[in-house]
Amino acid sequence: MSQKKYETPLLDELEKGPFPSFVTEIKTAAAKNDSANDLLGVLEQCYRERRTHWKHGGIVGVRGYGGGVIGRYSDVPNEYPGVAHFHTVRINQTSGFFYTSKALNDICDIWDKYGSGLTNLHGSTGDLVLLGTKTDALEAIFAETSSRGWDLGGSGSAMRTPSCCVGPGRCEWSMIDTLDITYALTQEFQDELHRPAFPYKFKIKTAGCGVDCIASVARADLSLIGTWKGDIQIDQAEVKNYAAKGMNIQGEIIDMCPTGCMSLNGGEIAIDNSNCSRCMHCIAKMTKALRPGKEHGATIMVGSKAPFVIGALLSHVIVPFMPLEPPYDNLKDLIRKMWEWWDEHGKNRERIGELIVRRGMREFLEFLELDPIPQMVFEPRRDPFYFWTEDELNK
């Protein structure tokens, strides 16, 4: 390998300082890989010119799949032939991002052989992203990875790779089996994941509780968030321990409870559970003393996304409480129905959240056969403009 040697004075600045350096990483890969080396070169140019040097991706992929690979081409291919093609391969990560050394090493071996040696662990949708390869290596990469039990993630107008928080794998608050739900949905909807046939992308993120460590409420068309019914479990001895260790329970917990449903009497916490909104604050800050109630399920929310075209959206409640046990048929049915409605009415590049805003919640809820309940809204409408059906008038 006789490589072009790039001077990278600007990028070199980014090797200083305590935080691990991506420049160092590129250089590490560059030492054994031409593509990575040319990436270094073109990136220095980008830093110099303060602009990108990539072109729109063409459609590339593996046989039988419509997604999983992001095609990417340089607009200066002659100067940097190693990145003339520089596609990324999205490998469907494991639920909760758990790995073994062996599994990761396997992937590294494949990637050193067929790719740039650079990766993203992980993409912000959750995929294990292999960053930079050429069109003719794609089939090989797929054969190597899939034969070892890995599959591609999503891209394009498809279900995107579902992801979740660590959940029951290591967290005391997980009220749903985030890892298993994510696995089960991914398996169930393989076709929807690999063969784009939707109006636009559809993301699913599952959080074990309202703390939402996977940012489900903000970044998923379908947000599943674990929650409970029943009273918060209180261990008063531990409450006293927290106080003994110096916690200002009144100030940090009682006064910060958003519903004002807590009180502290003689060092014991009392909760008016009927007014608790299950926000998780008290539980998170007093994990030894307070635990969620015993009946577990999920709040189902839909529609969050980035700003295009009508402004960023957060997901909103459509089912306040759904018990979620394998095989999750209730959830799968609901998802299928959502898709059916979206498929029918969604315009090209219209996310489901935007469609709900455009056509109103009523039609969506009626299609899903969900009754309207106040938990679906922060507040009722203000302007007295609304529709009646013939049915409603006649009764």
Partner 1 sequence: MADLPQRQTDIGPPHYMQFLPPVAQKNYGQWKYHEQLSGGSMVHVAESGDKLWTVRAASPRLISTDFIRGLTALADKYCGGHLRFTTRHNVEFLVSDESNLKPLMDELKQKNYMVGGIGDGISNIVHTQGWVHCHSAATDASGLVKVLMDEFADYFTGTKTLPARVRFAVACCTNMCGAVHCSDIAVVGIHRKPPTIVHEDVKRACEVPSTIGSCPTGAISPDPANKSVKIKEEKCMYCGNCYSVCPAMPISDPDNDGVAIVAGGKIGSLRSNPKFSKLVIPYLPNNTPKWPEVVAAFRTILTAYENGARKHERLGEWIDRVGWEKFFSLTGLPFTHQHIDDFTIARETYRTSAAFKW
In the complex, the residues that contact a second copy under the rule CB under 8 A are 307, 311-312, 382-385
Distance CA 201, CA 198 (A): 7
CB of 119 to ligand SF4, least distance (A): 15
Q: Is residue 201 a contact point for partner 1 (CB under 8 A)? A: no
CB of 227 to partner 1, least distance (A): 6
* Terminal-to-terminal C-alpha distance of the chain: 82
H helical segments located in 310-351: 329-345
Is the distance from CB of 154 to CB of 67 less than 8 angstroms?
Answer: yes
Distance CA 286, CA 378 (A): 28
Half-sphere exposure of 248 (CA within 13 A, CB side): 4
CB of 220 to ligand SRM, least distance (A): 7
Q: Is residue 84 a contact point for partner 1 (CB under 8 A)? A: no
CB of 144 to ligand SRM, least distance (A): 20
CB of 290 to partner 1, least distance (A): 10
Residues 77-136 that bind ligand SRM (CB under 6 A): 88, 90, 96, 120, 122-127, 129
Q: Is residue 70 a contact point for ligand SRM (CB under 6 A)? A: yes
Q: Is residue 280 a contact point for ligand SF4 (CB under 6 A)? A: yes
Residues 235-274 that bind ligand SRM (CB under 6 A): none
Is the distance from CB of 39 to CB of 4 less than 8 angstroms?
Answer: no
Distance CA 301, CA 222 (A): 6
Q: Is residue 234 a contact point for ligand SF4 (CB under 6 A)? A: no
* 390 token code pair: 């013939």
CA distances from 356 to 3, 200, 205, 331, 352 (A): 54, 14, 19, 19, 6
Out of 39, 204, 211, 254, point to the residue binding ligand SRM (CB under 6 A).
211
Out of 39, 239, 269, 352, point to the residue binding partner 1 (CB under 8 A).
39
CB of 16 to ligand SRM, least distance (A): 23
* 38 token code pair: 């040319």
Q: Is residue 211 a contact point for ligand SF4 (CB under 6 A)? A: yes
Residues 168-197 that bind ligand SF4 (CB under 6 A): 171, 173-174
Out of 69, 70, 89, 209, point to the residue binding ligand SF4 (CB under 6 A).
209
Q: Which is nearer to ligand SF4, 286 or 302 (CB)?
A: 286
User: SS3 of 29, please?
Assistant: helix
Q: Which stretch binds ligand SF4 (CB under 6 A): 100-108, 149-157, 193-201, 278-286?
A: 278-286
Distance CA 106, CA 13 (A): 33
Out of 153, 196, 297, 303, point to the residue binding ligand SRM (CB under 6 A).
153
Question: What are residue 227's DSSP bridge partners?
Answer: 297
Burial of 242 (0-12, 13-18, 19+ CB in 10 A): buried
Question: What are residue 85's DSSP bridge partners?
Answer: 73
Out of 85, 219, 278, 296, point to the residue binding ligand SRM (CB under 6 A).
219
Is the distance from CB of 318 to CB of 331 less than 8 angstroms?
Answer: no
Distance CA 104, CA 363 (A): 46
Among ligand SRM, a second copy, ligand SF4, none, what does residue 271 contact (CB within 5–8 Å per kind)?
ligand SF4
- Of the candidates 324, 320, 302, which has an alpha carbon nearest to the alpha carbon of residue 184? 324
Q: Which stretch binds partner 1 (CB under 8 A): 149-157, 263-271, 327-335, 336-344?
A: 149-157
Length of the chain: 395
**221-232 burial string, b = 16+ CB within 10 Å, else e?**
bbbbbbbbeeeb
Residues that bind ligand SRM (CB under 6 A): 70, 72, 88, 90, 96, 120, 122-127, 129, 153, 161, 165-166, 170-173, 201, 203, 211-213, 215, 219, 284-285, 305-306, 308, 351
Residues that bind ligand SF4 (CB under 6 A): 165-167, 171, 173-174, 207-209, 211-213, 257-259, 261-262, 271, 276-283
